[in-house]
Amino acid sequence: MASAVPPARTALERAAPLLRLPGAPHQSPDVLPGNAGLRDPTGGRTFALRGGVLDLLGSFDATPTQRMLDTRLTAWFYDRTRDALAPAVGMPGFAAEAAAVAKRLELAPGDLVLDVACGHGNFTEAIARRVGAGGLVIGLDISASMLARAARRIERSRLGDRVLLVRGDALALPFASGSVPKLNCSGGLHQLPDLGRALAEMARVTCAGGRFAASGFATAGEEPGGLRGWLRRRLALHVVPLAPLARAAGAAGFAGVETRMAGPVGYVWAKRSG
């Protein structure tokens, strides 16, 4: 009698060896029965997977921008209008942006990709389609409302076998060092309250030679003043100056940093030195 074929591993099971739980930074977590979440193997604390999202964050001190984006209304509005309004402000269409990300990250079937500041999951979905059934995409965001939209998007697309959504902080990424070969952060740079720290975290979790691509509202010059400076000081909403961004990415551990502007959006891509 032929032996039974073992069931395919879920996205949670495949991602678990890379993840690190609060209070257990050096150990892989255990997967709970039924893929209900993760457990700290030493302290026993559990983290549930609910509504398609694994919450590793809980409560935190949000910036004004983060609070604004973490409502059902703003998540709905962003989801429904982002791609339609992008060309009106000089941004490339979403298909062009997704193709550029795929090119910069050199995406291929079977790839593992971390999508930081994934928001409502448009890039997460596009990347998941590129990496195929053998690939794995982990979308991470701090907004529960945005992640709820992303979970519905992934469910509708029937890509849950290759996508895990995680609520976590880009300033303290819940991943083992050097565990991610490809990292994307499309449209999220301007929302990070401490860009240097976030870049350092992204470099920490990216393996040597790994690829990095990111974007956000930007300016081609140096540090902005006027209204842009006020937005940064009061709301932690950056208009990212590309020259300092490139220097910060290099200081964080990325090499061969390149940047470009397209309308109000700046793009950066690099490789992890090593």
With 60 as the cut, is the pLDDT of residue 260 above it? yes
258 lies in some domain? yes
78 lies in some domain? yes
Number of domains composing the chain: 1
- Determine the pLDDT at residue 74: 66
pLDDT tens, 142-195? 999 999 999 999 999 999 999 999 999 999 999 999 999 999 999 889 888 889
42 lies in some domain? no
121 lies in some domain? yes
164 lies in some domain? yes
pLDDT tens, 181-236? 999 999 889 888 889 999 999 999 999 999 999 999 888 866 655 555 544 444 44
pLDDT tens, 97-115? 999 999 999 999 999 999 9
1 lies in some domain? no
158 lies in some domain? yes
- Determine the pLDDT at residue 217: 86
- Determine the pLDDT at residue 23: 86
- Separation CA 136–CA 119 (nearest Å): 17
Kindly report the pTM of this predicted structure: 0.87
Higher pLDDT, 3 or 25: 25
Q: CB of 270 within 8 A of CB of 249?
A: yes
Look up the domain containing 215 and give its range: 50-272
pLDDT tens, 9-53? 899 999 999 999 998 989 999 999 999 999 999 999 999 999 999
37 lies in some domain? no
- Here the CATH number for the domain that contains residue 61 is 3.40.50.150
Of 213, 202, 199, 208, which Cα lies nearest the Cα of 270?
Answer: 213
